[in-house]
Amino acid sequence: MTSKIGQKGQVVIPKAIRDRVQLHPGDEVEVAVQDNHIIITANRVGQRLGGKFARSGMAARLLEDRAGEPR
């Protein structure tokens, strides 16, 4: 697939690719250069909960449940 770079240097990741790797608006990605290639990797590190829920595993369960919801 081909994308064009916009006036602000932005590139749109095609919907088929976003769907395949489950990227959604607001998700973070890592961008790196390797040799002459640009590598974009989904940042799958979840946000940490604090307080009494810090070690409950609830964040992982909520994110897993959310991933199964239709978008």
How many C-beta atoms surround the C-beta of residue 18 within 10 A?
15
pLDDT in tens, the chain (71 residues): 888 999 999 999 999 999 998 888 888 899 999 999 999 998 876 555 567 766 677 778 888 888 888 87
Burial class of 23 by CB neighbour count within 10 A (0 to 12, 13 to 18, 19+): middle
How many C-beta atoms surround the C-beta of residue 63 within 10 A?
12
| Distance separating alpha carbons of residues 47 and 59, to the nearest angstrom | 8
Q: What is the pTM of this model?
A: 0.55
Token pair 């609830």 is found at: 58
| Distance separating alpha carbons of residues 62 and 9, to the nearest angstrom | 34
